[in-house]
Chains A and B, each alone.
Chain A
């Protein structure tokens, strides 16, 4: 318990954020906005990890390190994703995810 804020609050918040991200990922057509939704999802997970770490297992720093790595991976992912998006834009002159269905049957 941390001064009146139980862990449930954090978890509910992160869940809400997570599913907002999911919603965004499902409805947005623009690849960059989808990328942004993914950032939301990642952040919600980070909050989760940190809250667990601080409130349930304060002896070690596992949650923190994981968050750290997540941020690193997110950075890598964002840079690669944007490189891909730009590449796609060069080829198709738009970045609408619905137009990218080369992989269908």
Chain B
């Protein structure tokens, strides 16, 4: 077993186990914490794939930003000791059947498919390449989506402020 395989299996085990815990835990704050573990492991995956920049962003933005945001909102909306009620059995069964069926279908399909795998390129993606890609307008240039995303973020910011603002009336 190579190191890579080991690391992969380790991260996947963490991801799967904590994902499950995230969606089943009855204490909401714990669920958020488990989510944090999942996100951190995901960034580990990114490292494994040599996307260091992305991994960093994942850590700062997801683990640092979103999870904190979630925790804040949890603290705003729920009591700290409150336990979530167990969802009704039928609901769980239906959801499980759907999820399992989907998963099996996808996994079977994946395993049946032969991919043309290239030789692994261990070089990291250079930040400069990313910057050029972001600002380029040619082929494999992403200036337009970049601008759109920036507008979207601005809109989301303004939108969330307006939404969350207390109405005067």
Contact = CB atoms under 8 A, between A and B. Distances in A.
Main secondary structure of the interface of A (DSSP, over half): helix
Interface of B: 1-5, 8, 12, 15-16, 19-20, 22-24, 28, 31-32, 35, 38-39, 42, 45-46, 49-51, 54, 57-58, 61-62, 65-66, 69-70, 73-74, 76-78, 84-85, 87, 91-92, 94-96, 98-100, 102-103, 106-107, 110-111, 115-121, 125, 129-130, 133-134, 140, 142, 145, 149, 152-153, 155-157, 159-161, 163-164, 166
Given A8-B111, A76-B153, A80-B160, A23 B23 contact: yes
Interface residues of A, number: 72
A70 to B, nearest CB: 10
Contacts of A83: 159-161, 163-164
Given A21-B23, A61-B129, A4 B2 contact: yes
Interface string A12-44: 110111111111101111101101110110010
Contact of B73 (A43, A69, A85): A85
Contacts of B66: 39, 74-75, 78
Main secondary structure of the interface of B (DSSP, over half): helix
